[in-house]
Structure 1
Amino acid sequence: MSYQVLARKWRPRSFREMVGQTHVLKALINALDNQRLHHAYLFTGTRGVGKTTIARIIAKCLNCETGITSTPCGTCSVCREIDEGRFVDLIEIDAASRTKVEDTRELLDNVQYAPSRGRFKVYLIDEVHMLSTHSFNALLKTLEEPPPYVKFILATTDPQKLPATILSRCLQFSLKNMSPERVVEHLSHVLAAENVPFEADALWLLGRAADGSMRDAMSLTDQAIAFGEGKVLAADVRAMLGSLDHGQVYGVLQALLEGDARALLEAVRNLAEQGPDWAGVLAEMLNVLHRVAIAQALPEAVDNGQGDRDRVLALAQALPAEDVQFYYQMGLIGRRDLPLAPDPRGGFEMVLLRMLAFRPADTDDAPKPVLKPVGISQATADPANPVAAPAPAVPPPAAEPAPAAPAAPAPLVVPPPATVDHEPELPADAELRAEVEAISVPEPVAEVVDLPWEDPAPTSAPVAEPASAPRPTPQAAPTAAPPVHDEPPFDPSAYAAVGMDRDDEPPLDEDYYGGESDPVGFSYLDELAEHVQEEAPAPAPAPLPAAKPATGLALQWLELFPQLPVSGMTGNIAANCTLIAADGDDWLLHLDPGQGALFNTTQQRRLNEALNQHLGRTLNLRIELVLPEQETPAQAAARKRAERQQGAVASIEQDPLIQQMIKLFGAKVRQDTIEPVEALANQGQ
């Protein structure tokens, strides 16, 4: 008898023999036991996970001579014929080779005929996503309402290519990939039953190489048995697959942990003897580091998918968590840059040496760089030695030109200034400036004026003066001109008028003065001044902090103000008021006198109308210019802004990254640049 490969010999023949896919088997077993059978099933999943196997088992369950059951006998003629692939009512169709619409029509022409041997006629269409669009359209109606004796079972590895009309007519089951643990467990059972010696490490290599497919694992096991002359050994499997020895990756990580450059390069040399793919080696290192990071965060979450759980846990105990994160990030960057290296091995070695060279800042062997001072002049830092650094380029002030002296100048000694108990201390910059100015004056001047930042003039300095001029007394000595202060630049925003909107229509006609002009009298000017004072908008001063928090009527006004339909100057008047009395429909408001420039009868009328509109009744509103004792809406808004600003400043100052920058680099936080998040969001809108 010819040899039968393991994948076919050990194909499951019942649901009990299936490995994995419990979520699919449970639904199918319950449906068969309860006779709740659908007319179309769709199985999706990667290659070798059991799609066709489950379809054949369903065909046996439906046509077994013992009846419709989830546990077919496996001994009747129908079960044997299905296992041998010669049951006439199980029609297996390869959609990849029969994609034309004519093939689908031929299939549908036979649907109308009843089954020959079995209870149901089962159509198994494999790789159904390969059918053409016309074939899918031709299949739709029959797939939706087939004869009661017809069952469709579709299988595909790419369900995204199926039309939604097909998916909606089927019960869809997604088969999962096989985990390495499950593959190793099944291979151990198969090899033990076949009396083939094996090593556990070899099975883990086969389980990872199978990549979730049980059929691939069985095929690789057949190849390993042939390669190892009847044995499945780890060295033979590693040589057959051309894979990397997993232990060598741990050797590289152990050398990194110990900081041993010699051992690190020796490990690379041992790797090079196998001629590996250096990008694959880096990927294997990243895989191990990922599992080490999981072990440090949650040790019980580490799986044994590669048979090295104990080594991962040991490495997680020995390697600091920050080193694991750093090595992982450095490995990712190195894998990206590896194609740019002149030599792949050299690029891999540079990645490892880079990992070895850098250490976190808080370790004992971390480099301690000396930071040069930024923005600090040496003269300021060392006032005792002002000439240690070059003097700043400050041009000396231009000396006043001395008057022309006659032929016979007479020396004049200026009386010394009044003595003081002690000389004022000057900063280093002022001393340096005084010294430079003293050296750079070539000629004595006619008059010496003591500047506030200079030392008093020496008493023995001669001053040239005309001979005929009388000796001036200290009272007659000319005094220095007062310093001229530059006017600050004009800021139009400080005097900008409050913007008007549609709520602020022009005042009524009776508010304007309509008399004749009087160019010589003052009546017109008085009236014009009153009109401008009443109607011209003026900048609203900032509200003063409230003396007391709002309670009672004042608190009710705080809650009522945001609901009023007012804006512009009328809204500003209402924001700076507080409710003092509310006797029925007679209301009294106190307005901050600082806002009196904006207040007039028009604003009072508009505010009264807004209250009437909001409350639905007619009020008699009076407003008096009296400083409110309790908090107004404007003061409440200013207080909330200040609290948000203080919270933003505190959040910035307490930020660990900001504190680290201040500590390491001498950084300073400019509080005038800090804005709350709400303020920035409002600016973006």
Structure 2
Amino acid sequence: MSYLVLARKWRPRTFETLVGQEHVVRALTHALSSGRLHHAWLFTGTRGVGKTTLSRILAKSLNCEQGVTAQPCGHCQACTEIDAGRYVDYIELDAASNRGVDEMTQLLEQAIYAPSAGRYKVYMIDEVHMLTGHAFNAMLKTLEEPPGHVKFILATTDPQRIPVTVLSRCLQFNLKQMTVPAMAEHLAHVLEDESIEAEPQALRLLAQAAAGSMRDALSLADQAISYAAGPLTAAVVGEMLGTLDQHQLVRLAQALAAHDAAGVLAVADDLLARGLSFRAALGDLATLLSRVAMTRQLGQAPADDPQADDLMALAGRLSPDVLQLFYTVAVHSRAELALAPDEYAGFVMACLRMLALVPAPEAATADMANAGQHPGSSEPSEPSESSESSESSESSESSESPISSGKPDGSTVASTKGADTAEMPPGRALPEPPLPGPSRARQTPRSAQIPPSEQATAEKEASKDAADTGHSLGPDSAGPDPVRIAPREHAAPVRDIAVEPPERAVAVQGITVEPIPGHAPAQHAPTEIDGPPWDLDDDPIPDADFAAAMPDDPVDLPIRSAELSAELAGGRRSRVRSKKPAPDPAAMTPQAWPELAARLPVTGAARALALNSEWVAADDTQIRLRVAIRTLSGGGGQERLRTVLSEHYARVLRLAIEYGETGEDTAHAVSEAEQARRQDDAERAAEGHPLVQALGKQFGARIIPGSVRPA
């Protein structure tokens, strides 16, 4: 006797032996037990999930000599001949080779005759989606009202190509793809009965390669038995399938986690030497990364997983964001592998891309060291040259920016911030104060750019020059020395502004401007100021009111501390417009929804959905709308409307669409009502016009409804 392949030898003969399709088995067994038999069934699903097997078991249940039963005997003439494929009343038709209207007409002409040996004449049409449109139309009438002795079983892998007129005449059952654990368990049972030893990991590899098809899994098992010529081990099966060994896969993931480029290239060279598929390797890597991510999220690996220890180790080394990045690169690189010069280069570049997008630990350590920080610490370890220069800049700035405190007697006391009193050499420009905000530490005053040795020399020369010219830098000095203005800390930036000394001392906001004895203020045209950061045209304190409110004694100058302080210190107006709070979706009413829907920035399907929807209810997380036409929620309009509503309410919202009759609380209904009202008003106004009334009296004229257009 010739060898019978495992896929045929182990084809299920009863509903109990069928694996992975419990939902279909339950429906069919209940129908057979209760006698509620339909005249047409449609089985859909990918290859090798049991469509033909189910049709044969169903045909045996209908024609078994014991009667219509969910448990055929398997020994009578009908059962044995159906299993052997030679039963006269069970006709299997391949629609791929008999797809025309002539073949279908011939089949239907034979259907009217009674069965020859069985109880029912069963027609099984495989790959029914291959029939032409005329063939489908030819079978519609018979499929809807067949003779009582005829049953139709249709099978297809592409139900989308079957006309809805055929679908509506059948009971449709969607057969699921087989899971990897279910296939591995069934393979273990089959190989145990065949007296062949197999490792669990080898069976798992076969089940994964089958991609949900039990027939493919049994065929691969046949191939592995021939290839191994002995026990099925994971190494032998992986070599036969051309897949990456799990230990090598873990080694690749560990090399990526350790940023070991040499280890990654070693794995790639090994794959090239063994002639394995780089596309499959990227797919296996993405699968491993997904298992690592689930292990990290759950905190533990599955107990029955043989790689549980490796998964836990990788989960401890790879952070969630790195896992997501590696997974994305692996998936996209697998799709782009056909564009690479060769698969080896594409695989290597994909792995190097993962390493390039994640900084190496030593690189991160070097960057932190350059920034003056220890790895793993956010505090600087030692002050670097840049920090020293910043400190010297601040000290120079504080030493060269004396703060003059005004007194009632007109004297001035010069002080510095954290330093001794310093004098400004004549002719040297005022140092620029640091800009407020985060960039203050990066600003380097001009005075900080002078070395300390040169500063000391310059100060000595300046003192000597001042003594020769008769000018003194002390508080009692006289002469055309420029006025000293010391800005407070955090004050607004002082720009190059020429300031004439006043006639008497003025103290405003911690800034003292004192007169110079014997110096008369110069009369000149107003100096243009280089644009302050606040708007002078919209000052909350008018100049006239401010001048009227100024007292005779400058020491007792009243200052609006709340407003003027904020303007001088922050460089901006004190009147800050408060941001309007985001609206609450729960406060929306059905009557107010049409107005909001009409002004939402949406177009196309989203606008049609918004205008024709009715507000039902809302809370902090979800908005419910009702529409009368189901097609309005298709075409991406629902998702676009959800996005716009989330932006409007400044929160992430879900959009639930209900279907039912809508009333007058839709934007479309409101618009139509408003248009009708304006049309009625326009027609009444036209009828009341004297000319129209005169024409009506003289000629019997009347206004045709709808002919008047409102303005």
Distance (whole Å) between structure 2 residues aligned to residue 174 and residue 158 of structure 1 = 11
C-alpha distance in 1 between matches for 2:335 and 2:89: 55
Identity of aligned residues (%): 44
Q: Cα deviation per residue 1:107-166 (whole Å; 9 max; x = unaligned)?
A: 111221111111111111110000111111111111111111111110000000011111
**Greater CA deviation, 356-365 or 258-267?**
356-365
Give the Å deviation of 1:65. Answer: 0.7
Partner of 2:213: 213
1:66 aligns with 2:77: no
Q: 1:296 to 1:41 in 2, by over 3 A?
A: same
Shift of 1:311: 3.6
Find the residue that maps to 1:382 and give its secondary structure: helix
Q: Distance in 2 between matches of 1:181 and 1:141?
A: 44
Residues 44 and 158, structure 2, Cα contact 8 Å, conserved in 1: yes
Question: Is 1:148 matched with 2:148?
Answer: yes
2:483 paired residue number: 452
Q: Deviations over 1:11-31 (max 9, x none)?
A: 111111211100100110111
Name the counterpart of 2:414. Answer: 423
Deviations 1:635-679 (A, max 9, x none): xxxxxxxxxxxxxxxxxxxxxxxxxxxxxxxxxxxxxxxxx9769
1:386 and 1:432 in contact (8 A); partners too: no
Asked if the contact 1:379–1:385 (Cα under 8 Å) also holds between the matched residues in 2, the reply is no
CA distance in 2, matches of 1:111, 1:47: 28
By how many angstroms is 1:242 displaced? 1.9
- Structure 1 match to 2:7: 7
Partner of 1:535: none
Q: 1:73 to 1:432 in 2, by over 3 A?
A: farther
3-state SS, counterpart of residue 151 of structure 2:
strand
CA contact (8 A) 1:143 1:169 kept: yes
Matching of residue 180 in structure 1 with residue 180 in structure 2:
yes
SS at match of 1:192: helix
Distance 1:294 1:486 in 2: 67
421 and 300 in structure 1: CA distance in 2 versus 1, 3 angstrom threshold = closer
Using structure 2 for the length normalisation, give the TM-score: 0.55
Distance change >3 Å, CA 33–CA 431, structure 1 → 2 = farther
Deviation digits for residues 15-69 of structure 1 (CA, Å, limit 9, x no counterpart): 1121110010011011101111111100000011100110011111011110110
Aligned to 1:632: none
Of 388, 393, 398, which aligns to 1:382? 393
Counterpart of 1:203 in structure 2 is: 203
Aligned CA distance change for structure 1 residues 162 and 347 (closer, same or farther; 3 Å): closer
CA distance in 1: counterparts of 2:365 and 2:68, whole angstroms: 74
Letter in 2 for 1:382: S
**Structure 2 CA distance for partners of 1:301 and 1:42, relative to 1, 3 Å:** farther
Note closer, same or farther for the CA distance 1:135–1:196 as it changes in structure 2 (3 Å cut): same
Contact 2:301 2:308 in 1 (8 A): no
User: Match for residue 538 of structure 1?
Assistant: none
**C-alpha separation between the residues in 2 aligned to 1:436 and 1:282?**
66
| TM-score, normalization by structure 1 | 0.57
Match for residue 46 of structure 1? 46
Structure 1 231/69 Cα, relative in aligned 2: closer, same or farther at 3 Å?
Answer: same
Q: Which structure is higher in RCO with an 8 Å CA cutoff and minimum separation 6? A: 1
Check conservation: 2:479, 2:517, Cα contact below 8 A. no
Q: 1:348 to 1:256 in 2, by over 3 A?
A: same
- The whole-number CA distance in structure 2 between the counterparts of 1:254 and 1:477 is 81
Assess, with a 3 A threshold, how the Cα gap between structure 1 residues 60 and 425 changes in structure 2: closer, same or farther.
same
User: In structure 2, how many angstroms separate the alpha carbons of the residues matched to 1:278 and 1:246?
Assistant: 14
Q: Tell me whether 1:480 sits opposite 2:522 in the alignment.
A: yes
CA contact (8 A) 1:434 1:454 kept: no
Which residue of the partner structure matches residue 316 of structure 1?
315
| Aligned counterparts of 1:435 and 1:175: Cα–Cα separation in 2 | 89
Alignment of structure 1 residues 508-519 onto 2, 5 Å: none
Checking the alignment, whether the CA contact within 8 Å between 2:398 and 2:416 is kept in structure 1 is: no
SS of the residue aligned with 2:292? helix
Q: 1:93 to 1:48 in 2, by over 3 A?
A: same
Is 1:435 equivalent to 2:423 in the alignment? no
In the TM superposition, what whole-angstrom CA distance separates every residue of 1:359-382 from its partner, at most 9, and x where no partner exists? 599998574275699x99979971
| Cα gap change, 1:330 to 1:11, in 2 (>3 Å) | closer
How many residue pairs get aligned? The number is 455
Q: Which residue of 1 aligns with 2:286?
A: 286
| Cα distance change on mapping 1:429 and 1:213 into 2, 3 Å | farther
Aligned to 2:102: 102
Moved more, 190-199 or 89-98: 190-199
Report the 3-state secondary structure (helix = DSSP H, G, I; strand = E; otherwise coil) of the residue aligned with 1:181. helix
Q: 1:296 to 1:484 in 2, by over 3 A?
A: same
Aligned partners of 1:199 and 1:234 also within 8 Å: yes
Aligned mates of 1:301, 1:383 — CA distance in 2 = 56
Whether 1:328 aligns to 2:327 is yes
CA pair 19-678 structure 1, distance change in 2 beyond 3 A? closer
Matches within 5 A, 1:583-594: none
Give me the whole-angstrom Cα distance separating, in 1, the residues matched to 2:84 and 2:650.
74
Gapped runs of 5+ residues in structure 1?
389-417, 456-473, 495-541, 546-562, 564-675
The structure whose Rg is larger is: 1
